Amino acid sequence: MTTYSSLPRPSQTTLLVGGSNGTATLCAILGDKSKPENANHTLRVATRSSRKYLDEGGGPRAWRCTEKKHLSDVVAADFLPTRTVTHVGAPDSVFVYGNNDGNNDGNNSGNSNGDGGDLSPLERAISGISSPDDGGVADVIVLACPVSAHLSLLRRVARALYRLDARGLLGSSNR
């Protein structure tokens, strides 16, 4: 008998947009390659600041978080026994879209030769074009940022999606 847990997991690419502590926590959990549930999962981060998500060598920085889990899913009360799980993980790639680069909104122009040279960092993070990982087009985009930044980031993501779609760079809808 085949169980769900024994089936190979389909590949998934998740893009976290923002630079909050929530982004770092999700990097630790979703980027933890020692966990079987993260098999075939590509994790990208698009952020304004490279300092927080890139190490001194320019690679993605690893994050650590400790999760408190209740032993029972039926009742989760503080007086019941718990256990802790430590997650250590890193994104597969980091894209810095910055406020001062001219390419951050997808309003830049250039030739459309498909090599990603004319795409903004956010567009490359969404499309996977010229990405250092092999995740392809992002399946899920999560705004993991302070609430005050949601509207402006959502506008950025929408502009990037419209531009990529107009150029046919989002892949097939029959995926």
Note the pLDDT tens digit of each residue in 93-117: 999 987 544 444 433 333 334 455 7
The share of the chain scoring above pLDDT 70, in percent, equals 82
**CA 70 – CA 159 distance, rounded (Å):** 42
Residue 56 has pLDDT above 80, yes or no: yes
CA dihedral 89, 90, 92, 98 (to 10 degrees): 150
Is residue 13's pLDDT more than 90? Answer: yes
Q: What is the pTM of this model?
A: 0.79
**Are the C-beta atoms of residues 23 and 145 closer than 8 Å to each other?**
yes
Judge whether residue 86 has pLDDT over 80: yes
pLDDT of residue 109: 34
Residue 124, pLDDT score = 95
Ramachandran angles phi, psi of 22, nearest 5°: -65, -35
Interval 11-28 mean pLDDT = 91
Q: Is the pLDDT of residue 27 over 70?
A: yes
- Evaluate if residue 51 carries a pLDDT over 90: no
Query: What number is the average pLDDT over the span 43-61?
Result: 91
